[in-house]
Structure formats: structure tokens, C-alpha cells
Amino acid sequence: MSNFRLGLTGALVGALVVLLIHPVTRPFVQNGLWRFGVSQAADQSPTIAQNLNVLPEPSDLVTASLWMSEGCRRIKANHHLTTNELLTFVEIAQASAEREPDNAFWAHTEAIFQQALDNPEASVRAWKRASKLDQWNDYQNQRLAQYVADLNKEEGRQMAWHWALAYSVKGFHTPALIAQYGLTQLRNDNSLDSRLDLIRSGLLVRDGARSRLGSELGWQMIESGALGTSIALDSRKEFVARRFSFIDQLAQANRNEDAIYVNSVLASNEAWDAALKGVEKQNRPRFLSAQAAIIATLPGSLLLAALASTLVYVLGTLFRSVLFKFKEGWILPAILAAVVGSILFFLTRLTFPTVFMIIVLAGFLIRPRVAPLDRKEFHFDAWMVWASAIIGLMFLVAITGVASFQSPPVKTVDDYADLGLNLIYSRETGLTLAVIFTGALIGLAQVWAYLRRRDPYIASGMALKSMGMTGLVVGIVLGVVTCPLVIAADRQLTDTLSQIVQNEPTYYLQDL
Amino acid sequence: MSRKPNFKELLSLDRDKSFSAKEKETLSKLLASDNALAEEQEEFNLSLNFLKDAAYDEEEIKVDDTFNGRVIRRFRVEQRNRSWSSMLPAVVGAVTAAVGLIAIIQVVSAPVTESTLDLQNQKAELETSEFPVIPEFTE
């Protein structure tokens, strides 16, 4: 081996050792190389109600907010709640409101549970009380911060996909039920006071929900309060006229302060509408989440694909150095097809690629009249060399995709955020492609051997070795090179996604 | 295509290795056909004998019993040194790559500067929602 090759090999080994040992790079290498399946922390963290068998004792406001959120989630899903359970929710809401009298979240949720208990008077009292307050905090951010901390602990480092996951588990049941409750109240009581209460509550939810969807519900409450109806108006002219007639009505009733307040709220609502509504913004967190999940797996997946390429190289060596000695007869192709077919089916459980490979290996039954000279030593034509290298790269991409999409970041984010990545590139698709690429190269080598009167086992072995070596070298080099790039990109995505999770509307306003 | 050796080279080769029957026959034919060549061979043999005598005139070199062992050990040590030095490019490559990668990782993984913006308490409002009052001017 030349000094240059020795140096290059040493550099790759040195870099690999650092990637595997360094605490910063290790999380990026382990995902896709040896960690697969859904994240355990995501499925077991007690900060998410879905992971709990029993709700924890509401000894602090954060846990109490978890109770409120869970109660609203059950009502939203039409899940039956007993009277005792509803009474418990009401008691927790009242107790929390005593501890934090400025937070309208407790009064809003009490109104919802009182309504579910069929206590309309108590419910309306809580609703009106909420509209007089000036804060709204559902403590979801605090719970999500703990959720992200649990994921960090599992991974050994904070990564962008943790925030992507936090965004996907963010609930909107409470703002949705509050909006629903407010609009029902509007239908029952269309008075100026009732409409004003709805606008005040809407403003609290819009500014306090800290998510685009939650804020949009608050925005809807404000608009409905101003219009005096929850029904969408077709005419823009009528919309504007009714919206501002409410201000006139307040002024005519000598409620100038309220009129100024409503005018200001409606102006801010218009600004909110212009800044935050739009298809692009709806898709941005999903796009960023997919990006965060995939890049977190890239170095590890490339290294796994390099390992798989090593197996192809070993298979090529077997063909090249051993199998060609047993060239005569049908027994060897039959054994080869049976063994390789069985191993493939055992590993992949896929029928089509297994049958394809068996058919390709059966091609060894057709033997060309091998030229007597240079039986073992020959060179490929240039197109065969290129074909082996290109198929090696295609194999690398196919296996990288499988490893990436089966690793915890992609699998968990895809499951929780319903991104549909599994539909684009499933494990079955990737493995089928990898087997077809390998089989196609063996078939191509057989055809070449037949045309050039060479031994097909040796030709196939040479092609597989070339393919495996291409995948091995490119996989390791890319795995090493992409790691620092991925770390830098992940850092930026962590910053962006954490801002979106903590306060999505503010993030978009900053971005204007 | 190989070059045909000249007469001097043939003489030298004759000393260095055993000729095949065909080569010996060619040499004999050359010597028989040309006296000058025969003389040249004689001179060559004479010179070689002088050289041999000069080499063997010295006293016989006496070596102790451990000489062979020492030679073999020296050979092994040199062989091992050679194998280590042959791995030097790999070691240099590994160390360089490891140090370089650690340096890059340190740079790219530096914590993001915390934003001074208080996201938790920030309200989602545009500052332009309020308009300044237009003053009335009097002459």
C-alpha cells in the first residue's frame, strides 16, 4: 500500500474513532448506526398525559395544568367523564386560581368543567371572571421543557429533533374548547357585555397560547365578538361594517373606554392576521421538523451503509477467490441461490427482492466458453468499472435511507407529527432497492463475462468488490465529512425550533 | 524485445550464473572464431583472479560464537523498525484527522448565543397597531 493510501486509511480510522468517542458527535453517529425504533423517552416521559397511567398528584401549578389539559382533551374527544372526575377538575382549577389569581387559564378551564357538570351559572361566573384578568398561561411550555430535558437525557445531548417532537405533542384542546365555549356563549347572549367578554378572553388566548393554532383561535374569538356572530360572512363590505359598528354601539352606549379598547384590539388583530396567517407558515414547522429529524441520522446512516458495502465487498471476495474453483455443474448455483435467498428472506422478509436475487444467481447456470489464457487475471471494460461504482453509490443511498428512516429521530418525529415520511421511503422500499441494485450488478457482470468469454464468478466477484469498495470509501468519507456540517445545522435548527415551540407567534413576527 | 549482450557482458554473466547449453555453445563459437576475443577472456580471468587474491590475502576474520545470533537479532530488529516506520503515514494521518476533527467539532458545537429577547413573556403584537395623534395647527 502506498504512503498516501496508508495516510488516508489512517485518517479515516482516526476520524471514526473521534466520531464514536466524542460526546458531541456520538449522538449523531449512534442514530442510524446502532439505535433504531421509536425513542423510549418520547413514549415514557411523564410530562405527556398520553404516557401516564395515572395522573400525578396536582401539588404544583405545572401538574395542575396537566390535569386541566387532560380534562379538556377528554371533553374534546367526547370521552365520558364522571361527575366526580369533573368535580375534581373544578376543584383543582379553583385551588390553582387561588394560588395564581391573575392567570385567566384557571377560570377559563373552570368554566368549561362547570358547563360539563351542567352548572351554567357557575360556568358563566367563571367565564366573566376570566375576561377581567390580564394573564393567560397554560404552563404547556414548562411541561414541554421538561419533555425536551427527558429526551436530552436519553440522547446525551440537546438536538433539534427533540424540539420538533415537542412541537408535535403541543396540544390545542384547551384553546379550542375555550373558543368553542365563547362562541356558544355568544349565541346564547349577544349583548355588548357578552361580546366584550369574548373579545377580552380572545385577546388573552391569542397572546397567551404561544402557538400559531392556539393564537388563531383567540383571533377568531376576537373577530366573532366584534361581529356579534360566529358565522363567517361572505361579503367583505358587510364584514368591515359589522366589525366597526360594534365600536359605534359601544360609543353610543357612552362606553368610550371600551370602544377605544376594542378599536385597539381589532387593529392588533388585523396586524396579527397579516403577519401570521399563510400556508407557508403552516408548513414551516413541519418542514423544519423533517429536516431536523433526517440530519440527526445522516452520519450514522452513512456509516451503516458503508458497513453494508463492506459485506458486499466480502461477498465479492468470496465469488472472486473461492467460488470460481467450483465452476462446473448446477450444484453451486443451486446452493448459492438457496443460501443467499434464505439469508435475504430471513433478514428482509421481502419476497420480491429474494426471488429476484435467486433468479440472478440461477444465471450462473449459463456458462460461457471461458478463454483458456488469463482465466483469473483480467480487467473490466471502462463501462463495467463505471457501472460498478455508480451502483455502489446507489446501494449506499438506498441503505442510508433505510437506516435513517428507521432510527429514533425520524421514526419518532414521523410517528408523532404524522409527516408521512414512512410513506415516501419505507424500510421495504429501501431494502428492495438495495437488493435489486446488487442483483442487477451481478446480472450485468454475468452478461459481460458471457460476451468477453471470462469466468462469470470472477467477473461478478470483481464487480461486487468494486461496488463494495466504492460504497465503503464514499460512505466513510461522507459520514466523517457530514458530521461537523450536521452538528452546525442542528445547532441552528435547535435555535429556530426551540423559539417556535416556546412562542410561535413571536418567532414569526421576528421573522417579518 | 531484449538487447543482445556484448562479449564483455557475456563474460561477466558467465561468472555470475551458469549458462545454458545453448549459451555456452554461443560463447565457445565466439572465442573460437576470434583470437582477440580469446585474449580478452584471458585478461578478464586474470583481472578477476587478482581481485580474488587481494580479497583473500587478509587474515581470516575471526568471529565469536554469538555472531550468527547477533546478526539474526539485528536483522529482526531492523525488520520490526521497518514495519513500524512503514505504518508511520497511517499514524500521522490518524492523529492529524483526529485533532483536526476535534477542533472543527469544538468550533461548530459552540453554544448558540442566547437571544436577549424574552420569548416567554413577549406578546404577539405589532408595534404599529397604535397610530400617533395628528396635532391641529393654528395660525
Best mean pLDDT range from A129-133, A368-372, B134-138: A129-133
The model's pLDDT over A245-259, given as tens digits with 9 standing for 90+, comes to: 888 989 888 888 899
Select, from the ranges A306-315, A500-509, B56-65, the one with the highest average predicted confidence (pLDDT): A306-315
Q: What percent of chain A has pLDDT over 70?
A: 95
| Burial tier of A357 (Cβ tally within 10 Å: 0-12, 13-18, 19+) | buried
Sequence-distant (6+) residues with CB within 8 A of B50 are none
Over residues B53-67, mean pLDDT: 69
Do B89 and A492 make contact, defined as CB atoms within 8 angstroms?
no
The reply to whether residue A502 touches residue B120, judged by beta carbons under 8 angstroms, is yes
Give me the pLDDT at residue A94, please: 94
What is the distance between the alpha carbons of residues A22 and A155, in angstroms, rounded to a whole number?
Answer: 13
What is the nearest CA distance from A483 to chain B, expressed in angstroms? Answer: 9
* Facing residue for A272 by CB, picked from B92, B98, B124: B124
Q: In this structure, which long-range contacts are made by residues A486-489, counting pairs with CB atoms below 8 Å and at least 24 apart in sequence?
A: A486/A28, A486/A295, A486/A296, A486/A298, A486/A299, A487/A24, A487/A25, A487/A28, A487/B105, A487/B108, A487/B109, A488/B108, A489/A295
pLDDT digits (tens, 9 = 90+) for A4-29: 888 888 999 999 999 999 999 999 99
Span A109-122, average pLDDT? 94
CA distance A301 to A398: 10
For residue B113, the chain A residue with the least C-alpha distance is: A495
CB A86 within 8 A of CB A115: no
Whether chain A has a CB inside 8 Å of the CB on B89: the answer is yes
pLDDT band at B129 (very low <50, low <70, confident <90, very high): very low
Backbone angles phi, psi at B134, to 5 degrees: -90, 115
| 8-state DSSP, A47 | T
Quick check: A373 pLDDT over 80? no
Contacts 24+ apart (CB under 8 A), B40-48: B40/B7, B40/B8, B40/B11, B41/B11, B44/B8, B44/B11, B48/B15
Task: Please give, rounded to a whole number of angstroms, the shortest distance from the CA of A14 to a CA of chain B.
Answer: 4
Is the pLDDT confidence value at B126 over 50?
Answer: no
A9 contacts B93? CB cut-off 8 A: yes
Which residues of A are less than 8 Å from B89 in CB distance? 3-4, 6-7, 10
Kindly write down the DSSP assignment for every residue of A99-114, as one continuous string: HSTTBHHHHHHHHHHH
Contact B126 A25 (CB under 8 A): no
How much is the pLDDT for B118?
54
Chain B nearest-CA residue for A512 = B126
| Per-residue confidence (pLDDT) for residue A316, from 0 to 100 | 92
The grid coordinates of residue B23 equal: 549459451
Q: How many cross-chain Cβ pairs, A to B, lie less than 8 Å apart?
A: 112
Q: Residue A218: its pLDDT value, please?
A: 93
B contact test, residue of A4, A21, A22 with most B CBs within 10 A: A22
- Which of B112, B119, B120, B127 is the best residue to mutate to test the A interface, defined by the most A CB atoms within 10 Å of its own CB? B119
Residues of A with Cβ-Cβ distance to B125 under 8 angstroms: 207, 268, 271-272
Rounded Cα–Cα distance for residues A27 and A41 (Å): 15
- Given A14, A207, A509, which is nearest B98 (Cβ)? A14
List the single residue in B with minimal CA-CA distance to A270: B129
| Partner residue opposite B94 with nearest CB, options A13, A275, A276 | A13
Asked if B130 is an interface residue toward chain A (Cβ–Cβ < 8 A), one would say yes
Which pLDDT value is given to residue A172? 86
Evaluate whether A392 touches A469 at the Cβ level (below 8 Å).
yes
Which range scores top for mean pLDDT: A50-59, A196-205, A279-288? A196-205
Query: Tell me: the pLDDT tens digits for A56-75?
Result: 888 899 999 999 998 998 89
Say yes or no to pLDDT of B24 above 60. yes
Mean pLDDT of A168-196: 90
Out of A212-226, A347-361, B12-26, pick the least confident.
Answer: B12-26
Chain A residues close to B126, C-beta within 8 Å: 268, 271-272, 275, 509
Q: Which residues contact A51 (CB under 8 A, 6 or more apart)?
A: A43, A44, A45
Using 50, 70 and 90 to split pLDDT, how confident is the model at A327?
low
The predicted model gives A88-110 an average pLDDT of 94
Task: Give the count of beta carbons closer than 10 Å to the beta carbon of residue A4.
Answer: 10
Sign of the C-alpha dihedral computed for residues A92, A93, A94 and A96 taken in this order: positive
Measured between CA atoms, how close is B72 to chain A, in angstroms? 27
pLDDT in tens, A231-245: 666 677 777 788 888
Q: How far is A490 from chain B (nearest CA, A)?
A: 9
Residue A8 has its nearest CB partner, among B93, B98, B124, at B93
Residue ranges of the alpha helices (H) in B58-136?
Answer: 67-86, 88-108
**Interface residue B117 vs chain A (CB under 8 A):** yes
Contact A295, A486 (CB under 8 A): yes
Question: Residues of B with CB below 8 A from A158's CB?
Answer: none
Q: How far apart are CA B98 and CA B89, in angstroms?
A: 14
Answer yes or no: do B105 and A22 touch at CB < 8 A.
yes
Confidence of residue B1 (pLDDT cuts 50, 70, 90): very low
Q: 3-state DSSP call for residue A135?
A: strand
What is the predicted pLDDT for the residue at B46?
83
| pLDDT value at A350 more than 60 | yes
Out of B92, B120, B129, name the one closest to residue A267 (CB).
Answer: B129
Test mutation, A5, A16, A18, A480, chain B, max B CBs within 10 A = A18
Q: Quick check: helix, strand or coil at residue A202?
A: helix
Grade residue B25 by pLDDT with cuts at 50, 70 and 90.
confident
Predicted model pTM: 0.77
CA A235-A238-A243 angle, to 5 degrees, is 125
Chain B hits for A483, Cβ within 8 Å: 101, 105
End-to-end CA distance of chain A: 58
Report chain A residues whose CB lies below 8 A from the CB of B123: 207, 506
A92 close to A58: Cβ distance less than 8 angstroms: yes
Q: What distances in angstroms separate CA A212 from CA A91, A375, B129, one per listed residue?
A: 30, 71, 19
- Taking CA atoms, what residue in B is nearest to A157? B109
Kindly report the nearest CA distance between residue B134 and chain A, in angstroms.
17
Q: What is the pLDDT of residue A324?
A: 67
By CA distance, what is A14's nearest residue in B? Answer: B94
Using a pLDDT cut of 90, give the percent of chain A over it. Answer: 57
Q: Is the pLDDT of residue B8 over 50?
A: yes
pLDDT: is A230 or A366 the higher one? A366
Cell digits of residue A237: 363590505
- Please give the grid coordinates belonging to residue A371: 478463454
Does the pLDDT of residue A426 top 50, yes or no?
A: yes
**B129, A268: Cβ pair inside 8 Å?**
yes
- Is A264 in contact with B130 (Cβ distance < 8 A)? yes
When comparing pLDDT for A132 and B18, which is higher?
A132
